[in-house]
Amino acid sequence: MFLTRGTLIATLLFLAAGVVPAAAGSWIILDDNTGHVLAASEQNEKRQIASLTKIATAMVVLDWAESSGTSLSTLVSVPSEVGGVGGVNPCQLQPGDQISLRDLLYSAMMSSDNHAAYTLAQNVGVRLPNPQALSPVDNFSAHMNALARKLGMKRSLFLNPHGLDNMSPPPHSTAADLARLTRYAYSHAGFNFYVSQPTREISIQGIDGTTRGFLLRNTNELLGRDGIEGVKTGRTRLAGDCIVLAADREPEAVEHDGQKIAIPRRIIVVLLGSADRFSEGLALIQRGWSLHESWSAEGRPVSKRSTL
């Protein structure tokens, strides 16, 4: 099939404008600093979110470590049940292996490691308050849901720490709820370390006493483009392609009461049920920066209705 000159020009203009293809299921773009929604479509529709779940997993771990004073360098054991988790196990964690909480976080967030997420849930879940006497992993999931309630994520339900959804009913969330969660994650000073690195060397101590290294590679192919510094990819058959992106630009200098102040500039994009998360996600980021510039030129107006 050949494109006419007019069709070709129209196609190029469509792409240059950062218009989101119709295949995108639901999405949202917002300013991280204020929570102001710059644009959205079906942002409150409940959907499966696959490994985007691990953002909540990471935050339960980071909040617990901070409140309990536990060092993330603490070594924990990979549980015997890990073999039944299924899905991605990039660094081949085996029952009895010893690995630090920090390296488990890196593996879960960068390489979407389901076995790392499960190991975190098992080892942290046994240390969290457990009034219902749940199993450690179920207790950890209960704390994920408690965090969701705290953040106003009213349309979210977490049933495990990794996001696999081959159960009935399956876990779910929304683009808007995940944007709330991501804003919260970035309020934690250490979160960005676990999502922004292209590669990371981790260390695993085997049950036989030997130590093996593994080079993690980030599944987010958009790192470094248009200021993108994270956050998480996800995919299952039910969820389709999913992605959460965060992008930074230099702070904007504005004058206030005769003084210049720097206002942070970060936008967050959540895209669920995509046919092509990377091309559609990048288009949303590019559109987001254009909308952000226009909004800033208008004085950054916000209202309760337009803010998460």
Cβ neighbours of residue 193 closer than 8 Å, sequence gap 6 or more:
none
Q: Tell me whether residue 54 is one of the annotated catalytic residues.
A: yes
Q: Can you list the alpha helix ranges (DSSP code H) found in the chain? A: 5-16, 53-68, 101-110, 114-125, 136-150, 175-186, 277-297
The H or E element that residue 27 is part of is strand 26-31
Q: Which domains does the chain have, with CATH numbers?
A: 22-297 (3.40.710.10)
The DSSP secondary-structure symbol of 222 reads: T
Type of residue numbered 229: E
Residue 24's pLDDT is what? 61
* Of 281, 214, 238, the residue nearest 23 (C-alpha): 281
pLDDT, position 150: 98
Average pLDDT per run of 10 along the chain, which is 308 residues long?
A: 37 40 76 96 97 98 97 97 87 95 98 97 98 97 98 98 94 98 95 96 94 96 95 96 96 78 92 96 97 93 91
Residue recorded with tokens 């720097």 = 262
CA-CA distance, 160 to 46, in Å (whole number)? 17
* Exposure string over 240-279, b if 16+ CB within 10 A, otherwise e: bbbbbbbbbeeeeeeeeeeeeeeeebbbbbbbbbbeebbe
Catalytic residue among 54, 156, 232, 274: 54
pLDDT of residue 263: 85
Whole-structure pTM value: 0.90
Nearest to 76 by CA among 105, 46, 47, 54: 105
DSSP state of 82: G
Q: Are 163 and 54 in contact (CB under 8 A)?
A: yes
pLDDT of residue 10: 36
Q: Determine which one of 100, 107, 111, 112 is catalytic.
A: 112
